[in-house]
Structure 1
Amino acid sequence: MDPLLATANAAADNPPTSITPPTSSPPPSSAPRSSGRLWAIGDIHLSFKANREALEKLLPHPDDDLILCGDVGETAEHCHIAFAKAKECFRRVWWVPGNHELYTLPSQKETGARGEAKYMECVDIARGYGILTPEDEYVLWEGAGGPVLVAPIFTLYDYSFRPDDVKLDDALSWALEKDIEATDEHLLHPDPYSSRIAWCHALVASTSAKLSAAVAAHPTIPLVIVNHWPLRQDLVQLFRVPRFSLWCGTTLTEDWHTRFNARVVVSGHLHVRRTDWVGGTRFEEVSLGYPRQWQECVERGLDINDLLREIMPGPEGPVGERRETVWRRFG
């Protein structure tokens, strides 16, 4: 079983309200600003009715910008709902895909897009709302604490987040020993690549080249790198289901925070909210998660607005050293 699974068919009993996409959108502005903040949230999983209701409570931030850090849902309809609400509340929005956006559901087995084509369907929907994606040029952000270059990326995973004594060929069996198997193995197809590993490695190569070009063009401007999957294996700490790490990233990105001059790295996927500092870079895990995973927040009177993470300017941190994790259980 997938311990982080949002049941792909959970929306069947509570279908979301239909939303008509805009007929046109102006290109996103990159006008400089001396104020305004950059926020992030990921894993809002709109297949759950409670999460759709939570999203409706999102308050307007007309001078601020938002990062949607993947896993808004499994369907085009989920993307429309998330993107429409985000643009209603924020001036500018970035989105990166998570594994759930890439799913081809059983009901779409014969006619639904698969793999890269499913990803590009989501990109097209995002662009319809004027939302920036990994397929767009990186934008200079000049709000509070800036300037920074916001770099949304897409890397997938290659099963390399595993113990040294577990061979790649044995990795899936190793996870299954503890009844762990990601739903990706059945619903996330790599087409046109031969495997998810091959797709991941192609994405890493193209993304690395794009980041290198960005750093060369803006050598004095730090980056905010945004990826659904964590860039570093040591930040994947799933105490109850450690073998789920297989589906959580690739060791090929371990040094990207220093190699590409990142001030902040934003990720989701783990459903474990936290802040870390490594080598002077701040790492933010910004998941909302499934309703049961943030029920304690609701019981404390918190809502989705309290669980938005401030990326810029964000908290102060040490330079050149590692700091103890700040666990963000209640935001």
Structure 2
Amino acid sequence: MKLYAIGDLHLSYEYNRKALAELKPHPEDGLILCGDVGETDEHLELAFSLGKRHFKQVFWCPGNHELYSVPAAQPDAIKGEEKYQHCVEVAREHGVHTPEDDFVRWDGEGGPVLIAPIFTLYDYSFRPDHVTRAEAVSWAEETDTVATDEFMLHPDPYPSRDAWCHALVGRFEKKLEQARKDFTNDDGEPLPIVLINHWPLREDLVYIPRVPRFSLWCGTKKTEDWGKRFGAKVVVSGHLHVPRTDWKGGVRYEECSLGYPRQWQDIRAAGKDINDLLREVLPGPSPPPGGEADMEWRRWG
């Protein structure tokens, strides 16, 4: 029983749908889908049905693309929290674990651990100190950087994406605190956690040199210490389309995006497929001495 992860499947692209169809069976293993499966029910249905067909357990958390309101696909497109809850129901219909379900104890290789999908969004706080929140989007626009979220990700019923983010952070902070009390090992110590979120939990994990000011839409400083604070063994995320492994204070951070077709077509040309790009979360490598190590690029798997 191993645990694998992949994110940012972006199934609106036929190229990526064909890639997903090549996924090989792992009947005893688990799979994490850490957001940006796609924008429509059809994308979710495809990922969840195939994931459950090939893996014993599947865990999902939403990315920004799942939250998009797409009038072309849904004339009366639902928005914000309602869209999120709709995605949760689609996942549950397939037996996929979501952030709204109880966290799951994992006793496979690398366990026991608690698998904890969460949903935090972002609050534009990944920005330089001299840039105020009011100036943030204009600051990004200076380099022709504006996320599609500004037009398609609605925060309803919250007044802003910031407000929705802060409500989510507060809710999942409490859920993680309670889990530390409820799930313990034989010695009464809290179980280590595999913490799953689409957006990186730490600002220092955001490295996107082609669009550095896109950092605004990449997380919140309110989760900076969550990996250490909640006893994470591994933190799994996507969103950046920059696959890498980091070690920070004894916690392993895995960015495991597939990405848009243009971003991984060289990998395909080299004879690799989606199976080569699945990230092994557990058991994974042993911690380095001192719990710190140089970042490892994982573009090639």
TM-score (norm 2): 0.97
Deviations 1:9-35 (A, max 9, x none): xxxxxxxxxxxxxxxxxxxxxxxxxxx
In structure 2, what is the equivalent of residue 14 of structure 1? none
Amino acid at match of 2:194: V
CA contact (8 A) 1:150 1:224 kept: yes
Q: 1:136-151, aligned counterparts within 5 Å?
A: 136-151=101-116
**Identity, % of aligned positions:** 61
Tell whether 2:168 aligns with 1:203. yes
Counterpart-to-counterpart distance in 2, 1:137 and 1:159: 29
Per the TM alignment, residue 277 of structure 1 is displaced from its structure 2 partner at its CA by 0.3
CA contact (8 A) 1:65 1:90 kept: yes
Q: 1:56-71, aligned counterparts within 5 Å?
A: 56-71=21-36
Indicate the larger mover: 310-319 or 202-211: 310-319
State the SS of the aligned residue for 2:281: strand
In structure 2, what is the equivalent of residue 50 of structure 1? 15
Counterpart-to-counterpart distance in 1, 2:205 and 2:54: 31
CA contact (8 A) 1:279 1:319 kept: no
In structure 1, what is the equivalent of residue 120 of structure 2? 155
CA contact (8 A) 2:71 2:77 kept: no
In structure 2, what is the equivalent of residue 241 of structure 1? 211
**4+ aligned runs moved over 6 Å, structure 1:** none
Counterpart-to-counterpart distance in 2, 1:315 and 1:296: 26
Per the TM alignment, residue 109 of structure 1 is displaced from its structure 2 partner at its CA by 6.9
For structure 1, the 5+ residue unaligned runs are: 1-35
Q: Which of 262, 269, 274 is the matching residue for 1:304?
A: 274
Tell whether 2:48 aligns with 1:78. no
In structure 1, what is the equivalent of residue 191 of structure 2? 221
Indicate the larger mover: 218-227 or 257-266: 218-227
In structure 2, what is the equivalent of residue 280 of structure 1? 250
State the SS of the aligned residue for 2:72: helix
Tell whether 2:194 aligns with 1:230. no
Counterpart-to-counterpart distance in 1, 2:70 and 2:213: 24
Deviations 1:212-257 (A, max 9, x none): 0001223331000000000000000111110000000000000001
State the SS of the aligned residue for 1:106: coil
Amino acid at match of 1:177: E
Amino acid at match of 1:278: K
Counterpart-to-counterpart distance in 1, 2:80 and 2:54: 31
Q: Which of 125, 140, 152 is the matching residue for 1:187?
A: 152
State the SS of the aligned residue for 1:168: coil
Counterpart-to-counterpart distance in 2, 1:267 and 1:96: 10
Deviations 1:239-288 (A, max 9, x none): 11100000000000000011100000000000000000000000000000
Per the TM alignment, residue 149 of structure 1 is displaced from its structure 2 partner at its CA by 0.2
Counterpart-to-counterpart distance in 2, 1:66 and 1:55: 13
CA contact (8 A) 1:271 1:287 kept: yes
Q: Which of 93, 109, 131 is the matching residue for 1:166?
A: 131
Amino acid at match of 1:106: P
CA contact (8 A) 2:37 2:47 kept: yes
In structure 2, what is the equivalent of residue 269 of structure 1? 239
Counterpart-to-counterpart distance in 2, 1:246 and 1:258: 23
Q: Which of 93, 96, 99 is the matching residue for 1:131?
A: 96
Counterpart-to-counterpart distance in 2, 1:84 and 1:256: 31
CA contact (8 A) 2:251 2:291 kept: no
For structure 2, the 5+ residue unaligned runs are: 184-188
Counterpart-to-counterpart distance in 1, 2:160 and 2:52: 35
State the SS of the aligned residue for 1:172: helix
Per the TM alignment, residue 316 of structure 1 is displaced from its structure 2 partner at its CA by 1.7
Shift of the 206–221 alpha-carbon distance from structure 1 to 2, 3 Å rule, reads same
